[in-house]
Amino acid sequence: MQESFILPSSVAPRSPQPSLNTFLNEDFLLQTETSKQLYHGYAKGLPIIDYHCHLSPEAIAANANYANMTQIWLAGDHYKWRALRTLGLEEKYITGKATDEEKFLKWASAVPYTVRNPLYHWTHMELQNPFGVDELLTEFNALEVYEHCNGLLQKPEFTPQGLLTHFGVEMVGTTDDPTDDLAYHEQLAESSFQTKVLPSFRPDKVLNLSGGEAFRDYIRLLASVTGSEIFNLDSLLEALENRVNYFHAHGCRISDHGLTNLPMGQVSLHQLNKVFTDVLQGDDREAVQYHDAFARFLLVELGRMYYQKGWVQQFHVGAIRNNNRRMLQVNGPDTGYDSIGDYPQIPAMADFFNQLEQENCLTKTIIYNLNPADNAAFATMIGNFQGGGIKGKMQFGSAWWFLDNLDGMKQQLDALSNMGLISCFVGMLTDSRSFLSYSRHEYFRRLVCNMLGEEMERGLLPMDLPWIGKMVQDICYYNAKNYFPS
């Protein structure tokens, strides 16, 4: 197949390479003197609490050096994969059998064409820190940058633990299935590594009643892990409580759920139990009809468990996944074929929170929105269930996935500010699989300082650096430190 991604012939090598300092300098994104004072005087250098990410606890515990930049930087990054596909690259250079060096060189050639996509900023921020690259990445310096970074990756400071220490990460919240044994978390807890690496409870697979044989396999695995027999709803709840207790004993204080939306629908327990037992026996005839009611039932029961444990529960809602069915068969899920969904979110969310609130067992909750059209609705929903003597009990979570760019983050912050209290916000997270993604915290912090600094200079906020600076520090670090149980 002919390669379709060709640099225009009018473009010639430039010498020397353009410097990052032309735009990515110490005052990047900081448009006013007050913004600069807020960032450099208050936000810069604060520790990071990364309370939701997809880093591998096995990789952190093994602490092995990555072989090269493709392995640590491009593998698994569907943001980059989508950009490369848009530019017309063959799949072999993205998820296929091209060499790691070939994949890196193709990405370097693509980077200049990502201008105005957050990938352009993230790429250069991640090369600058921690690798010290001070040039814009292009095809002309790609091999030099590749070899320079690969050399650094073999040093002790560039292992997973070394990088987490370098970026000042105080806590990492991984994302873990209820059936995980958490052996790597145990290993890390017993080690001398200073960053806390704590599990988060992600029970998505147990909610999928209409999942057919995959669902039955999962229930059998859950039963095996708990040493129990799961044959009805009561025994399923006992198994889940067993795993909640196990996770809690291993430091877990956070749950997470990835959903299209919070499910509506309640039916009698007798009917739901019958459908569940039928499904366990291979009868899926009513599984689709009762899918939402089953998920709703389990989420309420889990919500009660979380409340009893004092956990924080998170809900990431709004993605429509695996849209390209042909490529799903080729590459599998989570390979860059998801997008923003257009689902009704609010009635079911209000109904779900109301049920737990009426029982006085609504725990601390973070809701993450993926459709920017719903920002105002999410920002006002949290205000309905605040209280209980807890500062910011209900949180409108940081801009997520397709929205963690400058515009998306600003829109989320504006909605929260206008309809809630940004001063109570628990701030940014990486939601990433890469150990180099911590520049996203810097990106967020610079944006917050610029927004507040500009408004101070326009007279919309008082020119009170100590007070606004304290609020910046709270948003960037202290609110999260106080919000999440230790």
Domain with residue 294: its CATH number is 3.20.20.140
CATH number at residue 134: 1.10.2020.10
123 and 238 co-located in one domain: no
Residue 142 lies inside a defined structural domain of this protein: yes
The region that residue 177 occupies, defined by phi over 0 for left and psi between -120 and 50 for alpha, beta otherwise, is: beta
| b/e 188-218 (16+ beta carbons within 10 angstroms → b) | beeeebebbbbbbbbbebbbebbbeeebeeb
Q: What percent of the chain has pLDDT over 70?
A: 97
146 and 203 co-located in one domain: no
Residue 18 predicted with pLDDT over 80: no
The last residue of one of the domains, among 135, 158, 181, is: 158
Residue 40 lies inside a defined structural domain of this protein: no
Q: What percent of the chain has pLDDT over 90?
A: 94
| Whole-number pLDDT of residue 7 | 42
283 and 419 co-located in one domain: yes
| Whole-number pLDDT of residue 5 | 44
What is the residue whose two structure tokens read 């147990």?
A: 206
| b/e 43-82 (16+ beta carbons within 10 angstroms → b) | beebbbbbbbbebbbebbbeeebbebbbbbbbbbbbbbbb
| Whole-number pLDDT of residue 12 | 43
Count of alpha carbons within 13 angstroms of residue 292, beta-carbon side: 10
251 and 393 co-located in one domain: yes
Residue 20 lies inside a defined structural domain of this protein: no
360 and 465 co-located in one domain: yes
- Give the tens place of pLDDT for each residue, 70-125: 999 999 899 999 999 999 999 999 999 999 999 999 999 999 999 999 999 999 99
Reduced to 3 DSSP states, what percent helix, strand and coil does the chain have, rounded to the nearest 5? 50, 10, 40
248 and 128 co-located in one domain: no
Residue 8 lies inside a defined structural domain of this protein: no
153 and 170 co-located in one domain: no
The last residue of one of the domains, among 130, 158, 186, is: 158
Mean pLDDT of all residues belonging to the chain = 95
CA gap 209, 216 in Å, rounded: 9
Q: Is the bond leading into 16 cis (omega within 30 degrees of zero)?
A: yes
CA 165 to the chain's CA centroid = 20
Residue 45 lies inside a defined structural domain of this protein: no
Residue 65 predicted with pLDDT over 60: yes
121 and 186 co-located in one domain: no
Check the CA dihedral 207-384-48-37 and report its sign: positive
Give how many domains the chain has, as a whole number.
Answer: 2
Residues with Cβ within 8 Å of residue 186, at least 6 apart in sequence = 250
- Give the tens place of pLDDT for each residue, 426-476: 999 999 999 999 999 999 999 999 999 999 999 999 999 999 999 999 999
CA gap 451, 472 in Å, rounded: 11
Residue 4 predicted with pLDDT over 70: no
CA gap 363, 196 in Å, rounded: 23
Residue 407 lies inside a defined structural domain of this protein: yes
Q: Which domain holds residue 334?
A: 160-483
CA gap 189, 442 in Å, rounded: 27
Residue 389 CB burial class (10 angstroms; 0-12, 13-18, ≥19): exposed
154 and 200 co-located in one domain: no
Residue 232 lies inside a defined structural domain of this protein: yes
Residue 389 lies inside a defined structural domain of this protein: yes
359 and 300 co-located in one domain: yes
DSSP assignment letter at 366? E
127 and 228 co-located in one domain: no
- CA-nearest of 14, 120, 108 to 406 is 120
Residue 23 predicted with pLDDT over 90: no
270 and 404 co-located in one domain: yes
End-to-end CA distance of the chain: 55
| Whole-number pLDDT of residue 396 | 98
| Whole-number pLDDT of residue 19 | 82
Which residue type does 135 have? E
The last residue of one of the domains, among 127, 158, 189, is: 158
**φ and ψ at 461, to 5 degrees?**
-130, 155
CA gap 445, 475 in Å, rounded: 9
If you write DSSP's letter for every residue of 184-196 in order, what string do you get? HHHHHHTSS--SE
